Amino acid sequence: MSIRHGLLALLERGPRYGSQLRTEFESRTGSTWPLNVGQVYTTLSRLERDGLVVQDDEDDQGHALYAITDGGRTELRNWFETPVDRSSPPRDELAIKLAMAVGAPGVDIRAVIQSQRHHTVKAMQDYTRLKAQALTDVPADRDEVAWLLVLEQLIFQAEAEARWLDHCESRLVRLAEAAATEPEPEPRAPSRGPARAPARTPARLGRPRGRA
C-alpha cells in the first residue's frame, strides 16, 4: 500500500495535520491497513524533503498543518495514471509456505492446505457479512464508497485464494496417483568387471645346467 501517495491524495483536499491524516486514511480504507501517527509523520517528513508537501501553518490548537505543493500534485497525477506494476509482485507468505512444504520431511502439505482453506473461507464470509451490512443503506459519502471498493477487493482476493488452494490440492492428488501407478524399475543385473588375465605360473627355480 502506497502510504506516500495516499497521504498526498488526502492533502489535495486541503491542509491537514498528522493525526487527522491517519484518521481519514483509515476511514477511507476501513482500517484495513492501520497506520500509527509516527508512521504518518515519518512519511510527511520524507514528502517535505522531496518538495511534495510543505508545512503550511498551524490550526487553532497548535497542530502543524501540511499542504501539498505543485510538485506533489504532479506526483499524485502520475500515480493515478500509472498502472500498478505486477512484474515484481510482493512476496506472498502462503505461496512461499506451500512451495517449501513440497517434499519437506514430516510435513503433511494437504493438511497445510486444508487449514489455510478453512481460514480463507472464514475470512471471505466475514468480508461478505461486512459488505451486506454496509449495503443496508445507500453509501452516504465518498469514504463509504471507498470502503466498499476495498472490501470487495478483499472478497475477490479471498475467493481467488480459495480456488488456488483447491487447485493445489488437486495437483498433489494427481501427482500422488501418478506416482502410485508408475511401474517400479526392473532391478539391474550386477555388472561384470573386466576379465582378469590368468596368473602366470612362476618358473621353477634351479641351478643352471652346465654343458655336457
- With 50 as the cut, is the pLDDT of residue 9 above it? yes
DSSP letter for each residue of 14-67: S-B-HHHHHHHHHHHHTTSS---HHHHHHHHHHHHHTTSEEEEEE-TT-PEEEE
CA dist., res. 19 & res. 74, Å (int): 25
Position 181, amino acid: T
Query: pLDDT tens digits, residue range 10-27?
Result: 999 999 999 999 999 988
Instruction: Show the beta-strand stretches assigned E in the chain.
Output: 53-58, 64-68
Query: pLDDT tens digits, residue range 83-134?
Result: 988 888 888 999 999 999 988 899 999 999 999 999 999 999 999 999 998 8
- With 50 as the cut, is the pLDDT of residue 73 above it? yes
Say which residues have a Cβ less than 8 Å from residue 43's Cβ, sequence separation at least 6.
3, 4, 7
The pLDDT-based confidence of 212 (bands split at 50, 70, 90) is very low
The pLDDT-based confidence of 189 (bands split at 50, 70, 90) is low
- With 60 as the cut, is the pLDDT of residue 61 above it? yes
Q: How far apart are the first and last CA of the chain?
A: 115
Decide: helix, strand or coil at residue 195.
Answer: coil
Q: At what angle do helices 37-49 and 3-11 cross, to 10 degrees?
A: 80
Query: Are 109 and 98 in contact, with CB atoms under 8 Å apart?
Result: yes
pTM above 0.85, yes or no: no
pLDDT score at 186:
66
- At residue 210, what are phi and psi to the nearest 5 degrees? -85, 175
Kindly report the average pLDDT of the chain as a whole number. 85
